[in-house]
Amino acid sequence: MLRVRWLALLSCLFAVFALTVSACGDDDDGGGGGGGGGGQTVDIYSSLPLQGASRPQTTAMVEGIKLALAQAGGKAGDYTVKYTSLDDSTAQAGTWTPEQASANARKVAQDDKAIAYIGEFNSGASAISIPILNEVPIAQVSPANTAVGLTSDEPGADAGEPEKYYPTGNRNYLRIVPKDTIQGAALASLMKSEGCGNVSILNDKEVYGAGLARNIEMSAKEIGLKVLSNEGIDPKAPNFRSQASAMKSAGTDCFVFSGITANGAVQLYKDVHAAMPDINLYGPDGVAESGFSDPKEGGIPADVQAKTKVTVATLSPDEYPPEGKKFFSDFEAKYNEPNPDPYAIYGYEAMRLVLDTCKKLGSDCSDKQAMIDALFQTKGRKSVLGTYDIDENGDTTLTDYGVYTIKDGELTFDKTIQAQGG
Amino acid sequence: LEASTEAARLPVRRNTWDRVRGYIGEYGLIALLLALPVVYGIQDISEDGSLARLGNNVVDGLSNGSIWALVALGYTLVYGIIELINFAHGEVFMIGSLVSAGLFGTLGLTASTGAGGLILGLLLTLVVAMLASGSLNTMIERVAYRPLRNAPKLAPLITAIGFSFILQNVGILWIGGSPEGIPDLIDAQKELFNIGGVSIARGDVLAIAATIPLVLLLTTFISQSRLGRAMRATAQDPEAARLMGINVDTTISLTFVIGGIMAGAAGLIYALYQTTIWFLQGFQAGLIAFTAAVMGGIGNLQGAVLGGLIIGIIQQISDNRIGGEWTPAIVFVYLVLIMVFRPQGLLGEETREAG
């Protein structure tokens, strides 16, 4: 009898413990719910790498998302919005992991009230979450992905893309940043305008890095640049001196890395600069973060910064329409940050797009398919980023890319490139 | 430190395959190891008219390989004496780098520090890094391996892997999950001199110049000192060594201290040479260094150094000629071929276990 009581007591304790753990273990709840009282609730999630080199960017995105929700009073039409920020990275990896991206997507797929999933930051992560959310289906809006193959089979995509991401045959994924055909063309145009002739490309072999490298190569060749090499790297290699030496022997006068900071970018740029101190170095949005640019955060040193330029689909606040300018002043007012990370505005716009679409749908907002259809019907949207459409593939019609130099560890807007999709 | 026996070998009938294997093991491996340099050497001469490019690959390989050799010594020392693969050794090396980088900040060492201050600071850092890694390695032995001395061999293997992960997480807590650039104190990639087109940078000189005395010191210590003899005796037969009055536990602890000290030195050299540190660097370096130790003949000090240098050169030739994405595969193809035709490694002999 005593044994049975003990067992019962243990079971109760275990149950209490399990409940406590599960309650405490929930991801960061962005709050936002605000409205409270009455009405129905819908859930919106974001899935971004909140640890590792991308943390400053993704933290800014989450702040942008929360700002949009706060400005809407935590509501979309009659619906109260509950926002939850999920993390698709681990401290161990220092970047996104397939396991976390998959776990986040599965968690949202099981939420009946979920209407949208803002993410991922990395194209490779979206390659994992899109098919999971496509089966439900739930609308996925990426504020940062640029890999061509996620939405189209245009040059730069791999065999089987994008169909393999959409098992139902219907689309549920869209993005508000221009895809890499645009970024590849922007980087090629930038290199051409700065007198490059012989370009060497290294890529990190991820969905994003390898795809963008193909786009850069194609665009560069189209405008008359000679591409000496386009090779993958072992991101975990201790250094890249011999590859840098090989590029030097080949006569490289401009170098571009197509990949993300977490995949050895800092060491790579240091080694390439050491081998060829006079050449210009270029990087895409994958390295547009303080973990790459700021030596205080483990980024490249000042002499390498001076030779490096980075493209990001974000412009100077002055170059945005009035709505964009207002975003920057609102952001500063809320977070006391006059110079937000370039990605903050994309987090904001992703949430605004979902909230505005939900409001437009009225009572149909909680209908997952209706939400997807409405998002794909976005036309002439006057946003903080400018006026854009979402095309049938889920791509934005925006094409502007910003060129950033690095000064004292900070990404500093230089100019806008009106790149044409290649 | 070879844990070898001269056990009488039973006469066995050798079939044709064994004879071929033996022949290749003795002579073919030399051809295999020389294949890449010879092929690319001929190519360089025919295309460029000089061997400068190959020379640069070899110099880069020797400097990289020196670091792997220092780490590999720790693996081979421990394996030689207790036949344990100390999987945590790579992480001890990583902690050596983190301690060094931390001390750069504490001592205020920057790229603009004067030569005198820099040398003093780096010497102090070297001592502290060696002490830190040596103590850490000894602590791991005391906590995770010694209590399992008589346990099945898998048990200390698991605790070694466990400690490896614990130390990786210490690294994450310390510097975060991403590779972190640190000040380039010695201007590591600045060319110091150039011999016939072969560029030798400060980092190359540092890595090789620091490794040679350390390896010589270690081999002299093991071959000539009383404690070194005790280590060799323990490696050959722990029970007999105990009966001869050798304190086996102390000797084993000493082995871990020495292995850790080497890892600490390698940690500092790595930090100065690469100018980037990462919590996962120990896992990567450990994998390479362990491969080097096996390639050279695990338990054999000279073999570990030779293995480290060979892997360094293969890596650099592959990075430079074939492509960095293929380098890990090429290194392991070499390892597989060497193991198939010479299972005991390049300089290895049969161990207690195998013998």
Q: What is the DSSP string of B219-254?
A: HHHHHHSHHHHHHHHHHH-HHHHHHTT--HHHHHHH
Q: Do B177 and A90 touch (CB under 8 A)?
A: yes
Across all residues in chain B, what is the average pLDDT? 89
Euclidean distance between CA atoms A205 and A54, whole angstroms = 18
Q: Do B179 and A267 touch (CB under 8 A)?
A: yes
Encoding tokens for residue A27? 């991801």
- Is residue B24 predicted with pLDDT exceeding 60? yes
Going by pLDDT thresholds of 50, 70 and 90, the confidence category of residue B110 is confident
For testing the chain A interface, which of B168, B178, B291 should be mutated: the one with the most A CBs within 10 Å? B178
If one compares B349 and B142, the residue with the highest pLDDT of the two is: B142
Does the model's ipTM exceed the 0.85 cut?
no
- B179 → closest Cβ in A231, A245, A264: A264
Residues in A touching B184 (Cβ below 8 Å): 270, 301
CA B212 centroid distance within chain = 13
Give B203-218 pLDDT, tens digit per residue.
999 999 999 999 999 9
% chain B with pLDDT above 70: 94
Q: Do A243 and B275 touch (CB under 8 A)?
A: no
Q: Do A241 and B182 touch (CB under 8 A)?
A: no
- A233 → closest Cβ in B177, B274, B324: B324
Q: What is the pTM of this model?
A: 0.81
Euclidean distance between CA atoms B1 and A377, whole angstroms = 74
Phi–psi pair at A203, nearest 5 degrees = -130, 160
CB pairs under 8 A between A and B: 118
- A51 → closest Cβ in B177, B270, B321: B177
Q: Do B320 and A246 touch (CB under 8 A)?
A: yes
**Distances, alpha carbon A144 to alpha carbons A238, B107, B204, B346, in Å:** 29, 41, 41, 51
Euclidean distance between CA atoms B4 and A96, whole angstroms = 47
For tokens 């089966």, the residue is A135
pLDDT, residue A136, reads 94
pLDDT, residue A12, reads 43
CB-based burial, A18-50: b 16+ in 10 Å, e otherwise: eeeeeeeeeeeebebbebeeeeeebbbbbbbbb
Are A299 and A333 within 8 A, CB to CB? no
pLDDT, residue B4, reads 45
Mean pLDDT of B243-255: 93
pLDDT, residue A5, reads 53
Q: Could you give the dihedral angle defined by the CA atoms of residues B176, B181, B183 and B187, in that order, rounded to the nearest 10 degrees?
A: 150
Encoding tokens for residue B177? 């999950």
Cis peptide before A137 (omega within 30 of 0): yes
pLDDT, residue A52, reads 80
- At a CB cut-off of 8 Å and minimum separation 6, what does B172 contact? A91, A92, A94, B279
Lowest mean pLDDT among A31-45, B31-45, B142-156, B188-202: A31-45
Euclidean distance between CA atoms B206 and A291, whole angstroms = 28
Lowest mean pLDDT among A107-116, A379-388, B24-33, B39-48: B24-33
Are A325 and A331 within 8 A, CB to CB? no
Residues in B touching A264 (Cβ below 8 Å): 179
- B181 → closest Cβ in A232, A239, A298: A298
Nearest Cα of chain A lies from the Cα of B324 at a distance, in angstroms, of: 5
pLDDT (tens place) for every residue of chain A, 422 residues total: 445 455 445 544 444 444 343 333 344 444 444 433 346 999 999 999 998 878 888 999 999 999 999 999 999 988 999 999 999 998 877 789 999 999 999 999 999 999 999 989 999 999 999 999 999 999 999 999 999 999 999 888 888 999 999 999 999 999 999 999 999 999 999 999 999 999 999 999 988 899 999 999 999 999 999 999 999 999 888 899 999 999 999 999 999 999 999 899 999 999 999 999 999 999 999 999 888 999 988 899 999 999 999 998 888 777 888 999 999 999 999 999 888 888 899 999 999 999 999 999 999 999 999 999 999 999 999 999 999 999 999 999 998 889 999 999 988 999 988 764 44
pLDDT, residue A39, reads 67
Nearest Cα of chain A lies from the Cα of B301 at a distance, in angstroms, of: 24
Q: Flag whether residue B266 sits within 8 Å of chain A, measured between CB atoms.
A: no
Euclidean distance between CA atoms B247 and B85, whole angstroms = 22
